[in-house]
Amino acid sequence: MERQKNTFAIASLAGGILILLNIILIAMNGGPIVLSSSTQSIDALLQNSSPFWFRIAFGIRDYSGSTSLAVGAVLATIIIYLAVTLYESARNAQLFSFLIIVLTAVTLLYGGGFIIGSILAFIGAALMYEEPKKFNQTLMGKMLDSMRASSQIFEHFAQESPVREGAIVILFANLLSGIGNGIFAFNVTKITGAANAVVPFQILYTNRLGLDTSIVQTPVILMGLGILKWVILSLVLFLVAVNLFGNKASLASVATLTGFAYAPVALQVFTPFIFASNPYQTQWSLLVFLLTNLWAAVILIAGMKQIMNVSYTKSAATVISCGGIYTLINYLVLTQVNIPNYIRFQIQPAETMLFLTSIAIALPILFMGSKKASS
Amino acid sequence: MKIGVVSMRKNIGNLTRKPIPLLLAILAVLLVAIAIFEPWWSTNTSPELQMLSNSTMSINAGLFRTLNVATTNATDGTANAASFGITNATAYLDPIFQPLNADRLDGNLTTAFIFSVANLTVAQQANQIANDTNLTLALVITGFVLAIMMTFLTIMVITRNMPVERYAYLIGVLAVAVLLLAPLQMYNNVAGFSGSLTLDIKDSPWYGQSLATWGPSTGWFLTLAAALVEIVCLLPIRKAYAERRRGLVPGLKMDQSKVVTG
């Protein structure tokens, strides 16, 4: 247990050191660290048929002044201090872990220790928060186990069904996804709506990201919608799996699995670290959206297989069929909600979308048959 | 009845079992060592001006009273670098700035204008920094020596089991104070230590945008970071000292895993 605690504290410590290093490098560079794929002029990047170009940036320009960086260095040192204190003793573990989490979120403005630093500090602190629980009994441990589709964690969901934790994951994933999407979409709008090259240049080349209070609305609305989507998907999965395909599963275990399957969506918080040339801007966002959602689908397939005790084919068929129904409901109802600073992806025209969802719903049923047909 | 088995460990508990404070102390020493030779103040052309004029300029001032100037011009592919005494800034900077070209800038604004303003600012700052570097250098070197002494004493506690945590702690506190004082007094003593030059032509779309910025550089930040890291390693050392004062005799620690209850 002591060794486990030390590992968590060391993860936070390593994260804190990386965050401090990131801040020092920004100071040495005289501004955010911007790594681009090639050298292109701003005029070329703003054309509709501009060449493929992207850049990754660590640190926001408005937070790279000497006073801001000095504050950032103090915050990073506090993270290091708290991690060392947690390494020394588990006293006040909850308070110190909570502080590390909050400070890590703030230091994302300074590049978050090349992203890796903030991930390490956050995961270490989140695991430490639930000390002395074992890794796979903590919420963060369960999230990480779900993300690597561990069969043990799905077994745990089938037996104990911690629905409340599933709901927390939904809120957490949508909060982070909302922050990432909000910042990204707000700045893409600023680039595309700019009257001259000044604002696009500053965002693309110097990472002078615009941060507006309207960005706050995005995560709040997404969290509310996330709960609705979770309930809908869980119900659809349960009804199709149990009533249509005749498998055995409890609603609580399906709801828990669905909640934890959303965990990769939290990674969308890192979307604004990368911006691309004009036509590839939305494609980058689409790529993140597709990868995180496909990851969630893979978790669902692996988890449903374990919960229902069926083959991968049957589990995949169930998830695809339910995914079709869920997409349809999402398209008809939830897309009507106006979310500010949000890039929405829809298959157009509507006929194509309806055709594809119909195929996704019908094919598994045709191949596997319903409960009555199979029995 | 509890029977405590006293294990004769060679080294004392806290610092030995958990050597992270020592690693952080070594990190702090390394940071200060690098900071001594890195620039403490610099001025750089902003990305906006770099794009508009297709040229870059950077001026760095270190603690050894030298200015390093580097310019590049992508239009004609030239790059210049020069190093000279900090007090001769005005005489040296003029000819370096002249070749820079900013044809794409607004007609009313020439590169010569921008850089003559930057030149004046840099020369003024350079003179002030020149007056301050001796004190800063003395403080940094003192802090560096104290940080080394603290690290050395910590190593003595760990490897030789010497009861010197108290001295390590006191020297560490001094090191922190001196290392914090060095950058802060420079920031305070040099008027206009950090600032920026903005474009002042209202017709230009780039109006109000930064053209050049100056302020603390690598050495300044590294020293500040070293002081903060040093603070972090002081806390476990103080704890180890308090444990020794409470009578937890070094080398004699109760091994809980071997406690037998009968």
Quick: pLDDT tens for A186-200. Answer: 999 998 888 888 889
Quote the tokens at residue A324.
């079709």
Using a 10 angstrom Cβ sphere, with 0-12 exposed, 13-18 middle and 19 or more buried, the burial of residue B92 is middle
Q: What is the mean pLDDT of chain A?
A: 88
> Which comes out higher in pLDDT, residue B16 or B148?
B148
Which of the 8 DSSP states describes residue A365? H
Q: Is A198 in Cβ contact with B209 (below 8 Å)?
A: yes
Tokens 């003793």, located at residue: A89
Distance (Å, whole) CA A149 – CA A145: 6
Contact of B198 with chain A, judged by CB distance below 8 Å, is answered with no
Q: Is B224 touching A (CB cutoff 8 A)?
A: yes
In this structure, CATH architecture of domain B15-257: Up-down Bundle (1.20)
The rounded distance, in Å, linking the Cα atoms of A273 and A143 is 23
A-interface mutation test, from B17, B188, B228, most A Cβ less than 10 A away: B228
**What's at B99, amino acid-wise?**
P
Residue B60, sorted as left (phi over 0), alpha (psi -120 to 50) or beta, turns out to be beta
Classify the C-alpha dihedral A229-A226-A130-A76 as positive or negative: positive
What's this model's pTM, rounded to 2 decimal places? 0.82
- The predicted pLDDT at position A338 comes to 84
Q: In chain B, whose CA is at the least distance from the CA of A207? A: B47
Give residue B129's pLDDT: 75
Position B256 confidence tier, pLDDT thresholds 50, 70, 90: very low
Q: Given a cut of 60, is residue A60 above it in pLDDT? A: yes
* Nearest Cα to Cα of residue A109 among A44, A51, A32: A32
Q: In which residue are the tokens 């297709």 written?
A: B54
Determine the distance in angstroms separating the CA of A28 from the nearest CA of chain B, rounded to an integer.
5
What does the alpha-carbon distance between residue A10 and residue A29 come to, in Å, rounded to a whole number?
28
With cut-offs at 50, 70 and 90, classify the pLDDT of residue A369.
low
**Do the chains contact at B205 and A198, CB–CB below 8 Å?**
yes
Nearest residue in chain B measured CA to CA from A74? B228
Range with lowest mean pLDDT among A111-120, A227-236, B174-183, B212-221: B212-221
Average pLDDT of the residues in A258-286: 90
Give the C-alpha distances (Å, rounded to integers) separating A186 from A57, A181, A182, A191, B169: 17, 8, 6, 9, 50
Closest Cα partner for A328 from A297, A303, A359, A302? A359
Q: Looking at beta carbons, which residues of chain B come within 8 Å of A69?
A: 221
Distance CA A285, CA A87 (A): 39
Q: Reply yes or no on whether the pLDDT at B43 is more than 50.
A: yes
Structure tokens at A262: 């959303």
- Select from B217, B158, B210, B166 the least CA-distant residue to B12: B158
Q: How many CB pairs under 8 A join A and B?
A: 85
Residue type, A49: S
What lies within 8 Å, CB to CB, of B101 at 6+ separation is B53, B54, B55, B73, B75, B76, B111
* A28, A64, A202: best to mutate for the B interface, most B CBs within 10 A: A28
Residue A67: pLDDT above 50? yes
Higher pLDDT, A364 or A219: A219
Q: What is the pLDDT of residue B72?
A: 80
- Whether B13 and B253 have beta carbons less than 8 Å apart is answered as yes
DSSP string, A158-215: HHH--HHHHHHHHHHHHHHHHHHHHHHHHHHHHHHT-SSSHHHHHHHHH------GGG
Which chain B residues have a beta carbon less than 8 Å from that of A194? none
Put simply, the answer to whether B232 touches A84 (Cβ < 8 Å) is yes
Q: How far apart are CA B257 and CA A18, in angstroms?
A: 36
Per-residue confidence (pLDDT) for residue B28, from 0 to 100: 93
Report the pLDDT value the prediction gives residue A290, as an integer from 0 to 100: 92
Q: Helix count (H) and strand count (E) of chain B?
A: 7, 10
H/E element, B167: helix B165-189
Q: Where exactly are the structural domains of chain A? A: 1-133, 160-375
Find the closest chain A residue to B196 by CA distance: A65
What pLDDT digit, counting tens, does each position of A202-222 carry? 999 999 998 888 899 999 999
Mean pLDDT of B86-99: 57
Lowest mean pLDDT among A75-89, B12-26, B199-213: B12-26
Whether residue B236 and residue A80 make contact (CB cut-off 8 A), yes or no, is no
Mutate which of A84, A87, A89 to disrupt the B interface (most B C-beta within 10 Å)? A84
d(CA B226, CA A76): 12
